[in-house]
Amino acid sequence: MIDTAMILGAGLGTRMRPLTDMVPKPLVRLGGRALIDHALDRLEEAGITRVVVNVHYLADQLEAHLKGRKSPQILISDERGKLLDTGGGVVNALPLIGDRPFLIHNADTAWIEGIGGSLSRLMEAWDGERMDGLMLLALAATSIGYDGHGDFNMDPSGVLTRRSERQEAPFVFAGVSIAHPRMFKGAPKGVFSLNKIWDRAIAARRLYGSRLDGVWMHVGTPDALAEAEQRLKLEHVR
């Protein structure tokens, strides 16, 4: 049973400017609600009871907002002194997370759910014997706010490999994954990206994928946010 998650909320939100000139990216609104509340609601629906949120940029605003939540329980991993990037941020938060598998959730990811719950299916697919990490993946071709060439290929057993240079890959990382703390054994201290940890797991064939049933929305820029708003309005009409 996975009951703990971490939301990566410390980023500067540079690509979301000017919307992030005065508020941190997790407090940018989508469909009338802060992005971080969309994430917290989904986590709570999936049975998560503890969420660690790292803070750096305009941290006081984010902390004040989170105090208004009754559930899940929220713990703050403070990076006011130094922004540690995604990997360093997780390592810094591990004492709060504990020694069991946990979810990692980007603050700027959202989706329109298909049938059932994607987070619940992700957690049901977790196999700690075979996996060090399990990623939620979306089809690049049908995702909103994404215009890249894909991130990963996935074999029939779910094992992931990176897209080769100058090639297309069908799947894009949807901003949520499950990680076992052992992934971070021997990780560097300080600033580093989660990509370093993922590449090590790929080399050991212990990074797996689970496909999202729904429409993924990467709301990382004002244009992508506007596109996501339009899609949400369309879904409401339907």
- What's the start-to-end Cα distance of the chain, in Å? 35
d(CA 16, CA 25): 7
Distance CA 153, CA 128 (A): 21
State how many domains the chain has.
Answer: 1
Letter for the amino acid at 224? Answer: A
Domain span holding position 198: 4-237
- 7/208 Cα distance (integer angstroms): 20
The answer to whether the beta carbons of residues 212 and 138 sit under 8 Å apart is yes
pLDDT digits (tens, 9 = 90+) for 87-117: 999 999 999 999 999 999 999 888 888 777 8
pLDDT of 236 over the 70 cut:
no
Domain CATH for 124: 3.90.550.10
The per-residue pLDDT for 110 is: 87
- The two tokens of residue 16 are 């979301």
Q: Which pTM was predicted? A: 0.92
Upstream peptide bond of 188 is cis (omega within 30 degrees of 0): no
